[in-house]
Structure 1
Amino acid sequence: MAGDVTYSVDGAVAVVTINNPPVNAFGFDVRHGVIEAMNRAEADPDVTCVVLTGGGRTFSGGADITEFGKTPREPSLPDVNTRCETMSKPVVAAIHGFAFGGGLEVSLSCHGRIATADAKLALPEVKLGLIPGAGGTQRLPRLIGPEAALDVIVPGNPVGAKKALEVGILDRVAGEDLLADAKAFALELAAADEKPSALRDREDRLEAARRDPSALDAHAATLTKKARGLEAPLACVRAVRMALDTPFDEALAKEREIFIELMNGDQSKAQRHLFFAEREANKIPGIDRDVRPRKVSKAAVIGAGTMGGGIAMALANGGVPVTILEMNQEAIDRGMAVIQRNYDTSVKRGSISAEERDRRLGRLSTTTDYNDIADADLVIEAVFEEMSVKKVVFGKLDEVMKPGAILASNTSYLDVDDIAQMTKRPADVLGMHFFSPANVMKLLEIVRGKETSPDVIATALALGKQIGKVPVVVGVCHGFVGNRMLSSRSAENESLLLEGASPADVDKAFLDFGFSMGPFAMGDLAGLDIGWRTRKSLGQTAAIGDALCEAGRFGQKTGKGFYSYEDGPRDAKPDPWVDALIAEKAKELGVNRRNISADEIVERTIYPMINEGARILEEGIALRPSDIDIVWINGYAFPIGKGGPMFWAEQAGLEHIVERLEFWHGKTGNPVFEPAALLRKAAKEGSSLASAMAGKDDVA
């Protein structure tokens, strides 16, 4: 047998083992090897049954996605499934670790499934902009029913062994010896009077939906309600529904057609880009496997406000004991009340159990005394975004924290190096920029100061993953990556209003682009007074935004902002008062108003953001264009189907973007439109931004 698949016989049981580390992906050699092994078992008269399992730490992570987009090589994964399914001898899948995607689809083609208690199963193709393409949309409904199958396929989330047994994906959960239990199960099937039926021949779980598909359709509508603009979730529903009215082999062929169509489409390319980009973001120059993270057994958070409380929850959710420090008991009580309400809401929604809530709350303690956090391994400051305040806090932390403790600031804009100078240990200082609500949002910008130690960065990366975040390492500058680009995106917002667009026009252009919310609706949600306060501290003004705040219109919390919220925060209505204010300000400033198209709105908001991203790359603030994409997907709700701003820019055409930036620079004089040297270089060469960066010394 090929080295990727091994074959052995124990009595009457043939054991076929996939050995393709790290995740036993079903690449060409594995596919060929499994079919060869099944043929060998079929031909051996002494073999009565087969166990298919994975070597190493897992069963299989599924198809080898590095083969996607390349010329297919036979046998295909559907060929493997057909061979397993048509064996005259029962085949049992013995699952440990995880069976994801094609790995689970192969197990569905077997005649029985058994797994360890800690195994996880999933069909996560939707997260790559795909549907299961090797029979998953046809076999799973026949095994557990179409509604339950949609619950697995549309979200694409892992299912634990206990749940998988309850719904019927698994036949058994093994004891301490998976392989022994799997062999025993296979022998039972072989000894049974009737040969176990293949899932392709099962129809009983489909009958109810065939008689009345209304419940299935309603369930599908609920599952896809948040799919906004994404093709794959809807395609998953379409494929599963084929199980009701399309012959099995015809449905398999159509499933494969849908899979290939999606794989060749822009959205799947974007989502596959993000899959690799998230993994690439963990590769930091100077931090290899020899750099060991520091141990974080306990942590502290300074501040119990919105950010501090959310960060404390994120740490507690990840299993880290946390002490929250505040100025007084009243602030502590207020913050803990919010945390309690958040956890209670999660229990009511069913996202966690009451027992899990109590475990998480049990990891939280509070104090008003810095000495009580002196033994923490990590402290995260989450006080008011004011440099003088943060410097006072870090001076105090330098006095009390034990040697080797990591001192992190949750600043969203400020200079981490300046903050570090308040300590005698700048190597232990970094930025850990969480996004609100910190217990929910995935992004964690790890800000590397000029003196930050490599093992401190390694610790932040490891901790970020432990608490369920997507960490991206960035450099020091005002606003880092995300907020710096956001400022460029927002630079023309007021001008667009003054020149003729309404807030609803701008927000609709963003919704049509794929964002879940436009900038003015987002401003109302966050609170317009926050930006007003920041502008005043910087000596800046915004004609319309300032006038709204001066009128007491702070957004949703006051019932009025750019929109009116008379019927509640979810019901934004355009307000004639705001339209009149904009027209009045335009008249005062001598601006002639005109109709503004959606294309112009995109060019004057999204294009400057991409341009700023290129400058960030030139300066080394971000290591890779894909790191910027990960920041914007996970922290700023950039449309997943577009793959992030830098990926989308390359698909849209860098030459076109440079041309339009030059046009608007000439028209407005706004420096946000002056094309970055890196962007010009990539456009001129017809290359990607990453390729242009490879010759960064040539950028002028």
Structure 2
Amino acid sequence: MAKYLRTDAENGILTITLDDPDASVNTVSPDWVTEMTQTIEAARDDEAITGIIIASAKSGFMAGADLKFILGEMQGMSAQDAFAFSQRATAMHRALETCGKPVVAAMCGFALGGGYELALACTHRILADDAAAVVGLPEVNVGLLPGSGGTQRLVRMIGVDKAMEALLEGRSYTPATALEMGMVDQVVATDKVIDAARQWLATEPDPTRPWDVKGFAIQQSNGLLKQSTAGIFTMVTAKLRSKYGDNYPAPISILACIFEGMQVPFDKGLLVESRHFAHLMTDPVARNIIRTTFVNKGLAQKGARRPDGFERRKVGKVGILGAGMMGAGIAYSAALAGIEAVLLDTDQATADRGKDWSRKVIDKLVARGKTSEEKGAVLLDRIHPTTDYQQLGGCDLVIEAVFEDTAIKADVTGKAEAAMPADAVFASNTSTLPISDLAKAFSRPGDFIGLHFFSPVDRMALVEIIMGQETKPETLARAIDFVAQIRKVPIVVNDSRGFYTSRVFQTFIHEGMELLREGVAPELIENAAKQAGMPVGPLAVIDETSIELPLKIVRQAEAEDPSYRRPTSADVMERMVDGLGRPGRKGGAGFYDYPEGGKKHLWPGLAEEFPVAESQPDVEEVKRRLLYVQSLETVRCLEEGVLTHPADGDLGAVLGWGFPTWTGGTVSLIETVGLETFVEECDRLAEAYGDRFLPPEGLRARASVGEGFDWS
């Protein structure tokens, strides 16, 4: 009995309607492939059927395989299993396009991944002229490639140049662009899609695909210079390796599928694709990317850490104390979500400048056609700059975003509490100061919580929610609801100095400075970090944030915590700030020089201040040190209870400070290396470079019994 499909035959035309009863979106699954194969075979053998239309009962045509399903299938899958997994859907698509009947994909809404591969296997593609209608093959974004003919059909349909763009960039194409690219054959009004499909079938088109006709040749490149096919692909491969290094295998595999597929008949090209797909399916990179940036990110957005038993609530009005860059960004994000935002500062001019920041963001979006002036004006009307604390009346939430100074924070907290409703939540946007200490300035510590945003707020997805010692579960639930309301990703951590993200990120910059102190060449430090997948090197990033800030944190920790161990990198910071007057970019000079009108570059004087050793470490060793030190600190946060779930550690690392996506995050990196191997390597690093690399006992115990992290 059919489950995923509904079929209807009329006047020789079979309409196959995709309609998964258990989901709001049609997705590819083994059962669907089986049912589709049976339907195609029956249509092939039915002489009364002269043409086939494939449509959808959903608002979208079809997506690819559900990523949770893919992630589950990856566990323990062999290369042979992955190859067979690809070949099943490939065979179904091949059966469709060789069934001897013309087939039309009548697409309303999106057709992405496996959904667009289904359309590619049809003889003709019609797309609705609708804002929600897009087509594309985004598999590269999850570390995979189209595994059921996408790399082979698309290059034969639209040529090498355009196919490489679509496959390597993983973009979604609007109807007009898709028609121009040749990715669809017709674009018609939404209510005319089925009629257009019937009209095309009425012309009695030849169902034979061009690549099944003897003498077919793939369109060669026009935009990549006139050179041999091998020359083109050599050049593109070099560009990809320059961009991704060896960290992301999917782009190189996609390119190989195109190049190798061009040299062989179509059916052999499908085998080539399945082999490369099998390699990626069994490589940990795809698993890491899918688990963290799609599955766990999606679960976090839906409230994975939200305590049960509390009604979901929305914020109608939010107060923001401090109209600097951070406060202005929070106000913009709130207004974008339809929330009234009171933006308060000590003088009206500063508050107005905070609102002007949002105006500049909107002006750029309008100039790029991303929004309209009317929508921008409505958003700006929701932001109310003021110096009057009484304007906080009626706020459901007040967020403090002033300087990282306990006394200043306590002052504005007291003033805000006097004006805000008695049932409103108060949050501090601190990145380092303990929430439990800040909560002492608030008479209702159970309603006090940390909301650590990341700069620039309008572009950074993460919000680190920090539970104080007395924070109530209901307050956490309301904070998670707010973060979801402004469409950001929450992770939940418990109170401690530096919390999670600031604490672990510090290890990256300190290790970079320690390498410099040891005599490792600055260029090697910076390039190794980027080769490992970090967005920038540790010396560059500390220049941007200022060398003074981590030095202040070290000195504050030394003064307040007798057990705190001063990092040797503090010597480097003191020399740079106190001795040389080079505090970072804001001060005009740091580890880098910033010539006016020129490109920044490493300061040549570093070689004199920190002499380069004659013997330099291997680049892999530098990469290991920079990555492993962050993973170790994450495990310490887990074992100390600062982090409550490894998924939050990974999300915080990838979304918060740009830990390499290919790793899946600081915890997933350990699993990628293997716990036993990771512990052995860390013991070696500890012996060579210091106790900071010693694995925590909990991690050592897990490794000794072959136990992984608990992701449940």
Structure 2: gaps of 5 or more residues = 227-231, 560-565
1:88–1:515 Cα change, 3 Å: same
State the match for 1:265 in structure 2: 283
| 1:613 CA drift (Å) | 1.5
State yes or no: 1:233 paired with 2:251.
yes
The answer to whether 1:566 aligns with 2:595 is: yes
Q: Secondary structure at the residue paired with 1:379?
A: strand
In terms of mean alpha carbon deviation, does 294-303 or 164-173 score higher?
Answer: 164-173
What is the aligned partner in structure 2 of residue 41 from structure 1?
43
CA distance in 1, matches of 2:445, 2:114: 48
The alpha carbon displacement at 1:356 in A equals 5.7
Percent identical across equivalent pairs? Answer: 32
Note closer, same or farther for the CA distance 1:381–1:641 as it changes in structure 2 (3 Å cut): same
How far off its partner does 1:523 sit? 0.9
Trace 1:180-259 onto structure 2 (pairs within 5 A): 181-195=192-206, 198=209, 200=211, 209-210=220-221, 213-214=224-225, 226-227=243-244, 229-240=247-258, 247-259=265-277
Is structure 2 residue 38 aligned with structure 1 residue 19? no
Confirm or deny: 8 A CA contact 1:28 1:75 kept in the other structure: no
In 2, Cα distance between equivalents of 1:102 and 1:440: 30
In structure 2, the CA distance between the partners of 1:219 and 1:677, relative to structure 1 (3 Å rule), is: closer
Q: Which amino acid aligns with 1:652?
A: V
The 1:656/1:242 distance shift into structure 2, 3 A limit, reads: closer
CA distance in 1, matches of 2:224, 2:690: 59
User: Does the 8 A contact of 2:5 with 2:18 survive in 1?
Assistant: yes
Aligned to 2:229: none
Amino acid of the structure 2 residue aligned with 1:610: S
Output the CA distance in 2 between the equivalents of 1:644 and 1:149. Answer: 31
Residues 387-396 or 352-361, more deviating = 352-361
Query: SS state of the match for residue 146, structure 2?
Result: coil
Aligned residue number for residue 332 of structure 1: 351
Which of 357-366 and 395-404 deviates more? 357-366
Q: Does 1:678 align with 2:698?
A: yes
Q: 1:609 to 1:73 in 2, by over 3 A?
A: closer
**2:73 corresponds to which letter in structure 1?**
E
Greater CA drift, 158-167 or 298-307: 158-167
Q: In the alignment, is residue 549 of structure 1 matched against residue 594 of structure 2?
A: no
Of 99, 104, 118 in structure 2, the residue corresponding to residue 106 of structure 1 is 118
- Give deviations 1:367-401, integer Å, cap 9, x for gaps: 22222232233332211112222222232332222
Match status 1:127 vs 2:141: yes
Farther off after superposition, 205-214 or 294-303 = 205-214
Amino acid at match of 1:90: P
Map 1:2-81 to 2 at 5 A: 2-9=2-9, 12-19=13-20, 21-22=22-23, 23-55=25-57, 58-63=60-65, 64-65=69-70, 66-68=72-74, 69=77, 71=81, 72=84, 76-81=88-93
Post-superposition offset of 1:360: 4.3
- 1:147-195 CA-to-partner distances (Å, cap 9, x unmatched) read 4444433232434456545655445567675xxx444233212211434
Structure 1 CA distance, aligned partners of 2:600 and 2:484? Answer: 36
- Of 658, 682, 695, the residue aligned with 1:637 is 658
Q: Is the CA contact (8 Å cut-off) linking 1:48 and 1:187 kept in structure 2?
A: no
Select the residue among 136, 153, 159 that pairs with 1:139. 153
Change (3 A) 1:336 1:570: farther
Q: CA RMSD in A?
A: 3.8
- Is 1:84 the counterpart of 2:96 in the alignment? yes
Conserved? CA contact 2:464–2:491, under 8 Å: yes
Q: Does 2:525 match 1:525?
A: no
CA–CA separation in structure 2 for the residues paired with 1:94 and 1:465 = 35
Larger CA deviation: 322-331 vs 496-505: 496-505
- The one-letter amino acid paired with 1:194 is P
Indicate the SS of the match to 1:431.
Answer: strand
The one-letter code sitting in structure 2 at the alignment partner of 1:7 is: T
Select 2:606's aligned residue among 578, 589, 593: 578
Q: CA deviation at 1:262?
A: 2.3
TM-score (norm 2): 0.83
Q: 1:40 to 1:359 in 2, by over 3 A?
A: farther
Aligned residue in 2 for 1:626: 647
Quote how far apart the aligned CAs of 1:545 are.
1.1
Residue 351 of structure 1: CA displacement? 5.8
Runs of 5+ consecutive residues of structure 1 not aligned to the other structure: 587-591, 695-700
2:126 is matched by which residue type in structure 1?
A: R
Aligned partner of 2:593: which letter?
S
Q: Secondary structure at the match of 2:496?
A: coil
The number of equivalent residue pairs is 680
Q: Deviations over 1:385-442 (max 9, x none)?
A: 1222222223233222235433322111222233344334444432221111121122
Q: Does structure 2 conserve the Cα–Cα contact (< 8 Å) formed by 1:300 and 1:376?
A: yes
Q: Distance in 1 between matches of 2:478 and 2:136?
A: 30
Aligned counterparts of 1:404 and 1:264: Cα–Cα separation in 2: 51
Alpha-carbon deviation of 1:679? 0.8
SS at match of 2:610: helix
Amino acid at match of 2:592: Y
Q: State the distance in 1 between where 2:660 and 2:556 align.
A: 33
Question: What is the SS of the residue equivalent to 2:441?
Answer: coil
